[in-house]
Amino acid sequence: MTTPSTTVAAEHGVHTGLALRAVTLSYPDGESRLTALDRVSLEVGPGEFTAVAGPSGSGKSSLLAVAATLLRPDSGQVLIDGQDAGALGDRARTALRRAKLGIVFQQSNLLASLTALEQLLVLADVRGERVREARARAAELLDSVGLSGGKQQRRPHQLSGGERQRVNIARALFGRPSVLLVDEPTSALDHERGARIVELLGEVTRTHRTATVMVTHDRALLDRADRVLLMRDGRLSEPT
């Protein structure tokens, strides 16, 4: 669903949230190159939850890596709140990523020795936020994703797969991102738990007004998204 403000902004050529314009990405493949993304265009506005479904190897993680400004495309543009990431040098791009993007990677990269609360607080140190404020905000965020009191003091191995995924989502939101990128959030979960994680992503998208892109190979979870797109052989299309 497109919000009115997005429509107005689009008319003036400035798009808040995430925009990809004709993005092509290839990887070296022996003597030639393998095209992982083939002229992919996509716009996701604030508060919009877009799901991208496609089989393994279709380019979903590549799409997120480019949107996350972690990989530079061969051609095309990546705009974050209207800022062209390709026009920035490495330092400015890293700063843009920190300021604007929340990323939940497919491989949970929680630190084994830290509690759920501390997973968020290590980011506060990096950002120079006051400890007491950061602590209160981290606790509130964890609460909002369904991890209350005692669970916040647990380390990753003391949490279930679904709970770890909730920590990952809270951590991605901690930097107040405009754009939230989520790679296969349910791949390690059973259907019921996976469905609840996708539901949560819909909720946080509305609460935090993030432009959210979730990629998944699991077609069963798509009905909760505002919009579904299909990825096949590096090309993005509307479902028919």
Judged by CB under 6 A, does residue 73 bind ligand ADP? no
Binding residue for Mg ion (CB under 5 A) from 61, 77, 108, 187? 61
d(CA 203, CA 186): 16
- In sequence order, what E strands does the chain have? 18-29, 32-44, 49-53, 75-80, 83-84, 101-104, 179-183, 211-216, 227-232, 235-237
Give ∠ CA 87-92-94 in degrees, rounded to 5. Answer: 115
| Piece of the chain touching Mg ion by CB under 5 A; list 9-17, 60-68, 121-129, 198-206 | 60-68
- Assess contact for 23 and 35: CB atoms under 8 A: no
Sign of CA dihedral 112, 113, 115, 118: negative
Closest approach of Mg ion to the CB of residue 106, in Å: 6
Return the number of the residue (3 or 61) whose C-beta is nearest ligand ADP.
61
47 binds, among Mg ion, ligand ADP, none (CB under 5 to 8 A by kind): none
> Stretches 60-68, 72-80, 205-213, 220-228: which one binds ligand ADP (CB under 6 A)?
60-68
* Residue 58 binds ligand ADP (CB under 6 A): yes
Three-class DSSP category at 109: coil
| 22 counts as binding ligand ADP under rule CB under 6 A | no
In the list Mg ion, ligand ADP, none, the entry touching 77 (Cβ below 5 to 8 angstroms by class) is none
Q: Among Mg ion, ligand ADP, none, what binds residue 54 when CB lies within 5 to 8 Å by partner kind?
A: ligand ADP
Q: How far is the CB of 30 from ligand ADP (least distance, A)?
A: 10
Residue 8 phi, psi dihedral angles, 5° rounding: -60, -45
